[in-house]
Amino acid sequence: MNKQAFIECIAKLIPRGSRVLDLGCGDGALLSYLQTHRDCTGYGVEIDDKNVLACVQTDVQVIQLNLDEGLTMFADQSFDVVLQIDTLQHLRNAETMLLETIRVGRLGIVTFPNFAHWPNRLSILAGRMPVTKRLPYQWYDTPNIRVGTLSDFSGLAYKNDIKILDSFGIKDAKQIRVFPNFRAPTAVFKIEKK
């Protein structure tokens, strides 16, 4: 998927002028776009030295922090929006971080690779772990420590009393709302505390 098109697709979900916390912000490209095009302010959280440097070079405020240690440095509801864009699948404490997302933010936006996308299903039927554009790693070298589907996330949200405001899939930077669990390589959820 084209990175810029994906950024623009996600940015449309974030209210103009929001105070944003971007968890696992990578090189800060999304937060930089939000600052320039949506009048947002906020911080990125990143652990990788190279990505932290990239954020600093593009004037994105970044905090170097291991998300597995939690978000105790942030007060309840201190951000309008907390983003977990392709972060959840890398975390050991995914459930805890999901709860932290809605504690720290009034609104959470979470995306992750949808393991139920039809090419992945075909790979499993053929007896192999999927390797796709969205999941480009072999089973033995993937940075993803967990895989999930839109249905799995909905179940986790229900279990934790998290309100899903919207959910859909993304394919080629377009929203997929009809059978997204089958048709979309990326799952997207907009959530808040009940």
pLDDT tens for each residue of 20-62: 999 999 999 999 999 999 999 999 999 999 999 999 999 999 9
Q: pLDDT tens for residues 58-101?
A: 999 999 999 988 899 999 999 999 999 999 998 988 999 999 99
Please give the helix or strand (H or E) that residue 137 lies within, else none. none
**Domain 3-114+148-193, second-level architecture:** 3-Layer(aba) Sandwich (3.40)
Q: What is the pLDDT of residue 1?
A: 64
Q: Is the four-CA dihedral 157, 163, 168, 174 of positive or negative sign?
A: negative
Looking only at Cα atoms, what is the longest distance across the chain?
A: 48
The structural domains of the chain, with segments of one domain joined by +, span: 3-114+148-193
Instruction: Identify the residue whose tokens are 């505390």.
Output: 193
Strand intervals (E) in the chain: 19-23, 41-46, 62-64, 79-85, 105-113, 162-171, 174-176, 186-193
Q: What average pLDDT does this structure show over 5-10? A: 94
